Amino acid sequence: MTNELKTSDYDYELPPDLIAQYPAEPRDSSRLLVLNRADTSLTHRDSFVAILDYIEPGDTLVVNESKVIPARLFGHKATGGQIELLLLRPAPDQLEIHGGAENSCWEVLVRPGRGTKVGAKLFFEGNGESLQAQVLGTSPSSGRYVLFERDPLPFLELYGQMPLPPYIHQQPSDPNRYQTIYATEPGSAAAPTAGLHFTPDLLAAIKAKGVTFEKVMLHVGLDTFRPVKEENALHHEMHSEWCRLEAETARRLNQTRARGGRIFAVGTTTVRTLETAFDHTNHQFQPFAGETRLFLYPGKELEAIDALITNFHLPRSTLLMLVSAFAGRDLIIHAYHEAVRERYRFFSFGDAMLIL
């Protein structure tokens, strides 16, 4: 295993006008670039519906069912200064230390952060309702731990904004367009965007073909927002995200492999969950529920998946390194250059790639 992973090897030129600012309508009308690892071929498909041509009876499609919370909250400090919070995840360890109502302690990103000191009182208002909070301390992620007066989720559902990435400059008219159709359990600070391409009709057609459909959970957190700053990416610190693979799901995934079926993972968060739960000694899926810091990059073998449905990722990102772990760095960079030439739409609201 190498002791160096050059971040600059995962860079590429992207014209800004290829960064998708809005989702395709309908969802499954986005384009699909198919990369075959066996013969290194690239195939351009005009519609994501073409995924039906590649997934076969006996295969299993695995998705991340985490739901994005409207995690961006605007308010002010006691001094009157404006404040913006991005709620990342509950912090139960801080709740044990400082007390408070259930689910009231959270790790957050703060803007502006420099002037927001420990003990600062924060105030949020909307249509006659209010919510107060106090800064408890700094978190390892350079964020803050904040204690709300009560569980903030009901207030967020009414007055929070969807936490769109900074390269998307306008909130969609329908907030559900930054949500997969199968999302169930709130907890993510960003969408698992590879799943945005699926429609109810497309999922029904996939199931009708004899493909099984399974769900895992990973609540997307801070690393979605953190670029790799170190030139040696192995020095990049992955922050933990909570994920779950249930026992019955693990059993059915093992059955898929036993009968010769393939595991199609929808998105990098699904990959990280599956690889976290996979026992590489006996080559079986095991139930898992807990934190993962798994960092996947070339040199680390991915055994839990046979195919990957994903979007086009940011340059110099851990996600680009993850897909390179599956398909090889040179082949991925070649595919990205081809996608730029063919003017695919990139990032969260962009087009899709299928890696076989």
Q: What is the pLDDT of residues 315-338, one digit of tens each?
A: 999 999 999 999 999 999 999 999
Choosing from 93, 127, 159, the residue where a domain stops is: 159
Residues 6+ apart with CB under 8 A from 99: none
Residues 61 and 77 in one domain: no
In terms of domains, do 121 and 261 share one?
Answer: no
pLDDT for 96 equals 77
Instruction: Kindly report, residue by residue over 59-95, the tens digit of the pLDDT.
Output: 999 999 999 999 999 999 998 999 999 999 888 888 7
Determine, yes or no, domain membership for 279: yes
d(CA 203, CA 214): 12
Confidence class for position 6, pLDDT limits 50, 70, 90: very high
Of how many residues is the chain composed? 356
CA distance 143 to 110: 6
| Token pair for 82 | 């404006």
pLDDT at position 206, please?
Answer: 98
| Spatial CA neighbour of 244 closest among 185, 313, 200 | 185
pLDDT over 90 percentage in the chain = 82
Residue 225: its pLDDT value, please? 60
CA distance 276 to 89: 20
What CATH number corresponds to the domain at position 202? 3.40.1780.10
Do 179 and 60 have their domain in common?
A: yes
Whether residues 221 and 290 fall in one domain:
yes
Rounded-to-integer distance, Cα 68 and Cα 180, Å: 9
> Same domain for 155 and 280?
no
* pLDDT exceeds 80 at position 249: yes
Given a cut of 70, whether residue 1 has pLDDT beyond it is no
Same domain, 188 and 334: yes
pLDDT digits (tens, 9 = 90+) for 87-141: 998 888 887 777 777 789 999 999 887 778 899 999 999 998 999 999 999 988 7
- Is there a domain that residue 104 lies in? yes
> Are residues 288 and 220 located together in one domain of the fold?
yes
- Same domain flag for 111 and 248: no
Question: At 139, which helix (H) or strand (E)?
Answer: none
- DSSP letters for 130-173: EEEEEEEEE-TTS-EEEEESS-SHHHHHHH-B----TT--S--S
Domain residues for the domain of 25 are 7-68+172-355
* Pair (328, 193) in one structural domain: yes
- Domain count along the chain: 2
pLDDT class of 240 with cuts at 50, 70, 90: confident
- Annotate 260-280 with three-state secondary structure: CCCEEEECHHHHHHHHHHEEC
Q: Is 128 left (phi over 0), alpha (psi -120 to 50) or beta?
A: left
Q: Are residues 31 and 154 in the same domain?
A: no
Average pLDDT on 35-56 reads 98
And the tokens for 71? 């995690």
Q: What per-residue string of b and e applies to 282-318 under the rule 16 or more CB within 10 Å gives b? A: eeebeebeeebebbbbbeeebebbbbbbbbbbbbbbb
CA angle 14, 67, 336 (to 5 degrees): 20
Residues 218 and 321 in one domain: yes
pTM of the entire predicted model: 0.93
Average pLDDT taken over every residue of the chain: 94
Is residue 2 assigned to a domain? no
Per-residue confidence (pLDDT) for residue 218, from 0 to 100: 97
- pLDDT at residue number 19: 97
